[in-house]
Amino acid sequence: MRQPRLREVKAVSSGHAAGGQLGRNSNPRLPASPSDPRILAASLRAAVGTPRAGFGFPGGCPGSRGLSWAHAIMLARGLSRGWRGICAAALTGAPFSQVPSQAPRGLHCSVAAPSSGSSLVPRPPEPPRQLAKPPAPHEELFRLAPGGARDRASFVQAVQNFGQHNVHKRGHVDFIYLALRKMRDYGVERDLAVYNLLLDVFPKEVFLPRNVFQKIFIHYPRQQECGLAVLEQMESHGVMPNKETEFLLLQIFGRKSYPMLKFVRMKLWFTRFKNVNPFPVPRDLPTDPVDLATLGLRRIEPDLSAKVTIYQMASSRDSTGTADPTEQHIVGIQSPGQQAALARHSPARPVFVEGPFSLWLRDKCVYYHILRADLEPPEEREVEEIPEEWNLYYPMQLDLKYGRSAWDDYEFDIDEVEEGPVFAICMAGAHDQATLAKWIQGLQETNPALAQIPVIFRLTASTGELLASSSGLEEPCPPPAQEEEEEEDKTQRQQQGQS
């Protein structure tokens, strides 16, 4: 068990690993400061890859020669002053109650010769360690008061509590990493003020390099990595830092530090890519499903003159609050062009209700159905003839051929995929045929021609998983054919019953 511990020592004592990563501006991979040996050991355990071997915490079991020798090495090569204090405390405390069963065996047999082979032999996987996880340091600050909720106020309170009880801000790096992990639970991951508050936890002006040697080497690498981690989380959530962040970073790390460099890069690239999305989705999506459906439909249908119709509101909202499976919201959209096309559609050819297809709005997925017809075969396509000169003000048809030669040809030499026309789109709470039949009935009010046209429902699996645009059509061909006929009869009967 000692060999891995030596490796740990070497890995820990070299700050070069940190330097290389900071220089590449990548994710800080080594975790918090070594002021907490538990975190260090856990991380190195992960880095070594074997969950059991190499768990050589020096304060595990006092009294054997091998332990004290390794312990002495650790003390001698300790990275920070706090290491010694913590080690001394841990020697007496022995916080690892789960270790002693393994540690003595390994320590005793590894004194004389390197018996690392036995410790590196892969052991059977241990049972899932839900209970055995050691609590992260400062986790008690995030413990909820009885009756308290996880919201911004309690998060801010926890951060402020850290400073109050700990004047010297011991373990601030661990605390900041922990707070970064907890942000999502408290729902403050996109709050710039909270990030600034978290950066405020760093002691000011302590980490500024003062002479040329400190400027050459990365001064206080763990703290710079921690600052980088805060900025990386801001970046991944799309939060733009402001002047206060800049001032804080200047005070804490100085102008030539890596967090400051990352801040400059964020300022540059965020402003460049702020409006790069031609179809922007608002940050705060509406929670009401009808509003969300309206937003989605407006996004799908590029025609601005299209009308959104709410055929049915989810009735459960008013009465009980629990989702009523029979009454789901149905919202549809149709543009005047589509209405005209549907009116022109010949009743001899059926229209299909296809779906559900998925649409993602930021991180919410909604499903929509479309009403479309198949492409008409070329021989049946009627060319619309515009009678000449019925409009005397301007010509209805322009046949301008300005002599474009081969060098003005911007067409691609490929036949584009042609698909049948889409007549209407809808988003409904449920994906079953009954709900969609209600949509069709609602459509019939504005499109009386729909009453004569047979409607076939081509619904793929409604489990909400991924659905390709037509994957459901090709595979189960024979069975739905019968279903389609039945549905066709049903809808025809419905239409006949209505009309």
Partner 1 sequence: MALVHKLLNGTYILSKCLKPSVASCPFLSTRFADYCSSSLQKPVATPGKASAQRNSAGGLQGDHQREVALDVTSPEEKPEVSFDKAIRDEIKEHFWRLKDEIVNHWIGPEGRPLQEVIMEQARVVWQFRGKEDLDKWIVTSDKTIGGRSEVFLKMGKNNQSALLYGTLSSAAPQDGENSQSGYCAMISRVPRGAFDRKKSYDWSQFNTLYLRVRGDGRPWMVNIREDTDFIQKSNQMYSYFMFTRGGPYWQEVKVTAQIPFSKFFFSNQGRIRDAQFQLLLDKISSIGFTLADKVDGPFFLEIDFIGVFADPAHTEEFAYENSPVLNPRLFK
CB of 38 to partner 1, least distance (A): 16
CB 436 within 8 A of CB 429: no
Contact between 365 and 358 (Cβ < 8 Å): yes
User: Residue 312, SS3?
Assistant: strand
Q: Using CA atoms of 409, 410, 413, 418 in order, give the dihedral in degrees to the nearest 10.
A: -130
- The full length of the chain comes to 499
Could you say which residues in the range 276-335 bind partner 1, by CB under 8 A? 276-279, 281, 296, 299-302
| Stretch in the footprint of partner 1 (CB under 8 A) among 58-66, 358-366, 435-443, 482-490 | 358-366
CB of 219: closest distance to partner 1 in angstroms?
A: 20
Given the rule CB under 8 A, which of 41-49, 246-254, 388-396, 445-453 is the region that contacts partner 1?
Answer: 41-49
Q: In this structure, what token pair is assigned to residue 158?
A: 């926890």
Indicate the residue among 348 and 414 with the shorter CB distance to partner 1. 414
Cα dihedral value 82, 88, 93, 94, nearest 10: 90
DSSP 179-245: HHHHHHHHT-TT-HHHHHHHHTTSPSSSSS--SHHHHHS-SSHHHHHHHHHHHHHHHHTTPPP-HHH
Tell me if 120 contacts partner 1 by CB under 8 A: no
* CA nearest to 294, candidates 327, 328, 330, 331: 331
Mark residues 390-429: x for contact with partner 1 by CB under 8 A, - for none.
----------------xxxxxxxxx-xx-x--x--x----
d(CA 263, CA 219): 18
Out of 63, 284, 465, 497, name the contact with partner 1 by CB under 8 A.
Answer: 465
| # residues near partner 1 by CB under 8 A | 60
Query: Which tokens sit at 210?
Result: 């003062």
**Cβ closest to partner 1, residue 87 vs residue 300:** 300
**Class of residue 252 by CB neighbours under 10 A (exposed 0-12, middle 13-18, buried 19+):** buried
* Stretch 217-256: interaction string toward partner 1, x if CB under 8 A: -------------------x--------------------
The one-letter amino acid code at 428 reads A
DSSP secondary structure of 327-374 = ---EEEEE-HHHHHHHHHS-TTS-EEEEEEEEEEETTEEEEEEEEEEP
CB closer to partner 1 out of 71 and 431: 431
Spatial distance between the Cα atoms of 307 and 314, rounded to a whole number of angstroms:
20
C-alpha 421/C-alpha 433 separation (Å) is 22
Smaller CB separation from partner 1, 152 or 299: 299
Check binding of 370 to partner 1 (CB under 8 A).
yes
Please spell the DSSP secondary structure of 259-280, one letter per residue.
HHHHHHHHHHHHHHTTT--SS-
The 48-87 contact track toward partner 1, x by CB under 8 A, reads -x--------------------------------------
Task: Name the minimum Å distance from CB 358 to partner 1.
Answer: 5
x-marked contacts with partner 1 along 5-24 as a string, rule CB under 8 A: -------------------x
CB of 335 to partner 1, least distance (A): 12
User: In Å, what is the CA distance from 146 to each residue of 143, 149, 182, 447?
Assistant: 9, 9, 18, 59
Segment near partner 1 (CB under 8 A); pick from 39-47, 59-67, 154-162, 312-320:
39-47
127 binds partner 1 (CB under 8 A): no
User: Is 261 one of the binding residues for partner 1 (CB under 8 A)?
Assistant: yes
Among 44, 43, 10, 13, CA closest to 221: 13
Nearer to partner 1, 310 or 365 (CB): 365
Q: Can residue 47 be called a binding residue for partner 1 (CB under 8 A)? A: yes
Q: Is 271 near partner 1 (CB under 8 A)? A: no
Query: Which spans of this chain sit near partner 1 (rule: CB under 8 A)?
Result: 24-27, 29, 43, 46-47, 49, 236, 261, 264-265, 268-269, 272-273, 276-279, 281, 296, 299-302, 357-363, 365, 368, 370, 372, 406-414, 416-417, 419, 422, 425, 465-471, 473
